[in-house]
Structure 1
Amino acid sequence: MPVEKTDTLVVGAGQAGIAASEHLSACGIPHLVLERHRIAERWRTERWDSLVANGPAWHDRFPGMTFAEDGDDDFVPKDRVADYFAAYADKIEAPVRTGVEVTQVTPLTGRHGFRVETSDGVIEASNVIAATGPFQSPVIPPIVPETAGVTQIHSSAYRNPSQLSEGAVLVVGAGSSGVQIADELLEAGRKVYLSVGPHDRPPRSYRGRDFVWWLGVLNKWDMEATPGAEHTTIAVSGARGGETIDFRKLAHNGMKLVGLTESYADGKIRFAADLADNVRNGDAYLMNLLDEADAFVLRNGLDLPEEPDARRQLADPACMTDPMLSLDLAEAGITTIIWATGFSADYSWLPANALTPEGKPAHQRGVSKEAGIYFLGLPWQTRRGSSFIWGVWFDARYVADHISKQRGYMAYQATAAQETIDA
């Protein structure tokens, strides 16, 4: 049986893979997109039931299509986000093949391109784009042993409050996922402890504009990566029509806030004494952004209403002034720990030259050190907005343009070689 061949193979049919397909088609590059499950599968089956997009519909989309059932300022439910990408793939006639898993990519010997082993056979491709995204393998820190007598799940396995056993819940991680899950559990009547680490806390909106607009006009989406910036936790929510996360308010509403989770021994979890600092540093981020927004309004003469309430803060709750440094799980009645502690990525299926010694992508703006291997959808791939829906679309254009340019070089070399032979 002859081996199937294509110019460019895209691995993954989430937002990164679909964006790559659109730009590859625009460049006239033959390609194939492989997806081991369904298009945008993680939006459907690896998120909690009530999740909505963290940005409004006018912003968190591709330029070529709006959301059919949602207004511009709505925060789109997760299933309709997945439907959007499936519909977009149909619109651009993306050559997506679902139910096919890529297991290994190996450079061809003595000629350009790669041998790609899949669950459906072998494919040869001149280029491979790894568009599998940053949210691949849930990470649960090895802090609390399985013998501790509590159920431990990652936030990606959480669906709704009724899924959990009766009892109190400890949520570890106060980024967008952790704080929204903790808030939902508190609203459902659960006793909730939330472990809050360092984070940025932007306003959901200010002076009549969503924070994504402010980050845009202030050129913050285009900030390039700085050491450590790719690990910044952002506390923001699109729930209830979008709202600013306020840890003091959560505490006054009954949530028990603690600092960074550090260790476990003899049935007790120990927390760092950093809760107050973490909350106040998050406040400082918010205030700095409000200052920049006010300066932008003044400088540009914009008619946007002032919003003094955005700077008002509740009193420090007792959990900040007298922090809890240790928690006996049994005494607190905790039956479940939800780890909202992020994800890791596995690129071991790619050639070693495309990776760092630690197994991370070795690239510049998505262009790998291994010629012909590309990455797409990475956090801070080119800028702050790279892993967001709209940001990955622009990164995909750069990657497709680079592939097109390289194809031009290869075509020239082939022509030059033929002219030499003819002479």
Structure 2
Amino acid sequence: MAVEKIDTLIIGAGQAGIATSEHLTKLNIPHLVLERNRIAECWRTMRWDSLVANGPAWHDRFPGLEFEDLDQDAFAPKERVADYFVDYAKKFKAPIRTGIEVTKATRNTNRPGFTVETSDGVIEANRIVSATGPFQKPVIPPIAPKTDKIEQIHSAQYRNPKQLPEGAVLVVGAGSSGVQIADELQNSGKKVYLSVGAHDRPPRAYRNRDFCWWLGVLGEWDAAAMKPGTEHVTIAVSGANGGHTVDFRGLAHKGMTLVGLTKAFDGDKVSFQNDLATNLAKGDENYLALLDAADEYIKQNGLDLPEEPEARFTFPEPDCVTNPVLELDLAEAGVTSIIWATGFATDYSWLQVDALDDKGKPQHQRGVSSEPGVYFVGLPWLSRRGSTFIWGVWHDAKHIADHIATQHKYLEYKAPSQR
């Protein structure tokens, strides 16, 4: 069977793979995109039913195509986001093959390029772009109880309240996914316990501008690295129900029980760190700091934006904060299910080249790997804070495509004696 050959092979047809393909197309670089499922599959099947984009339509898109059927300040439903990427790929006739899984990629010996084994045969490529993203393997921490008495699922498996058994729910993790799921469950009538760790809590909007706009004009999207000590800080923001600022105390006053970071399980009992008040206070600091920066920006630039004093309103401390729950008997509390909103891990077991560190994480500079000819796109903080967002992926992909084009130019060089 003949071995197919291509200049650049892109693994993954989500937002990162499609963006990279667009830029390579513009640069006339021959390439192929392989996707083991459908285009943008994670948006369709690894998200809950009611999910919408966390940024407004004017912001969470590529430069070359708008969400023409949506108000530009609306938040696109997940299926609409997936369809957007399908439409975008059609727009420039992206060379995408779906239903093909890459199982192994190795560097060739004594000749350039890589040999890539797939479920549809072998492909040889001069370069490989990993565009598989950060949401590859749902992570449930080892503290999870080993019991069949409680239904346990990861947030990637959650779809809607009806899939859960009767009874209360413990949601572990209060980033964007955890808090939105907890809010939906509470609105459905369930008793909810939400385990809240360290988090940033930006306003959804302030003084008639979305927080995505504020991060842009304040230069925060271009931050090149996390601030020290924030590696485990998640972000709590929501576009649900038209978009609203996440307010943990407000959720508590509606009946949700907030608890600190989940510490351990012992039989039917779960213990929590005594850090809830501290976590909420630090989230408040983050929230107020952005309001202060926005106010200063408006003053310095003479902008005519409406005052919003109510944005600084704070609910009284609920009982679950002043008298924190440090241990909970799940059976007595009627908890019948746990949702682990505890994030994802990457899986590069297929990439058998010297591009990963001893923990299996990519070694790269702005997506250019330590292994020549291997690239990464679509990872958090690949080049800056905005790298995880759709528009940020597009710009990161352009950098990678330009790097590949530059390598082409070097390889095309001929010495005077060869001309």
Q: TM-score, normalised by structure 2?
A: 0.98
Which residue does 1:123 correspond to in 2? Answer: 123
What aligned pairs does 1:1-12 form with structure 2 within 5 A after superposition? 1-12=1-12
What aligned pairs does 1:392-407 form with structure 2 within 5 A after superposition? 392-407=393-408
Which residue does 2:137 correspond to in 1? Answer: 137
| Counterpart secondary structure, 1:129 | strand
Cα offset, 1:159, TM superposition: 0.4
Once the two structures are superposed, what CA deviation does each residue of 1:110-156 show, in whole Å capped at 9, x if it has no partner?
11110011000000111100000000000001113232610100000
Which residue does 2:308 correspond to in 1? Answer: 307
Give the unaligned 5+ runs of structure 2. none
Q: What is the letter of the counterpart of residue 92 of structure 2?
A: I
Which residue does 1:358 correspond to in 2? Answer: 359
Cα offset, 1:315, TM superposition: 0.5
Preserved CA contact (<8 Å) 1:230 1:380: no
Which residue does 1:385 correspond to in 2? Answer: 386
Which residue does 1:290 correspond to in 2? Answer: 291
1:373 maps to 2:374: yes
| Counterpart secondary structure, 1:405 | helix
1:28 maps to 2:4: no
Which residue does 1:332 correspond to in 2? Answer: 333
What aligned pairs does 1:134-213 form with structure 2 within 5 A after superposition? 134-147=134-147, 149-213=149-213
Once the two structures are superposed, what CA deviation does each residue of 1:157-215 show, in whole Å capped at 9, x if it has no partner?
00000110000000000000000000000000000000000000000000000000000
Cα offset, 1:267, TM superposition: 1.2
Cα offset, 1:349, TM superposition: 1.4
| Counterpart secondary structure, 2:332 | helix
Structure-2 separation of matches of 1:35 and 1:231: 30
Structure-2 separation of matches of 1:257 and 1:37: 38
Q: What is the letter of the counterpart of residue 79 of structure 2?
A: D
Which residue does 2:60 correspond to in 1? Answer: 60
Q: What is the letter of the counterpart of residue 20 of structure 2?
A: A
Q: What is the letter of the counterpart of residue 145 of structure 1?
A: P
Preserved CA contact (<8 Å) 1:182 1:192: yes
| Counterpart secondary structure, 2:213 | helix
Which residue does 1:342 correspond to in 2? Answer: 343
What aligned pairs does 1:269-284 form with structure 2 within 5 A after superposition? 269-284=270-285
Preserved CA contact (<8 Å) 2:53 2:239: yes
Cα offset, 1:106, TM superposition: 0.5
Preserved CA contact (<8 Å) 1:148 1:267: no
Give the unaligned 5+ runs of structure 1. none
Which residue does 2:238 correspond to in 1? Answer: 237
Which residue does 2:78 correspond to in 1? Answer: 78
**Higher mean C-alpha displacement, 227-236 vs 110-119:** 227-236
Preserved CA contact (<8 Å) 1:230 1:379: no
Structure-1 separation of matches of 2:390 and 2:144: 35
Name the % identity.
66
Which residue does 1:410 correspond to in 2? Answer: 411
Q: What is the letter of the counterpart of residue 248 of structure 1?
A: R
Q: TM-score, normalised by structure 1?
A: 0.97
Aligned residues: 418
Structure-2 separation of matches of 1:218 and 1:406: 35
Preserved CA contact (<8 Å) 1:44 1:82: yes
Preserved CA contact (<8 Å) 2:24 2:401: yes
Cα offset, 1:230, TM superposition: 5.0
Cα offset, 1:312, TM superposition: 1.1
Q: What is the letter of the counterpart of residue 233 of structure 2?
A: T
Structure-2 separation of matches of 1:280 and 1:57: 31
Which residue does 2:106 correspond to in 1? Answer: 106
Once the two structures are superposed, what CA deviation does each residue of 1:245-295 show, in whole Å capped at 9, x if it has no partner?
000000000000000001011310000000000011000000000000000
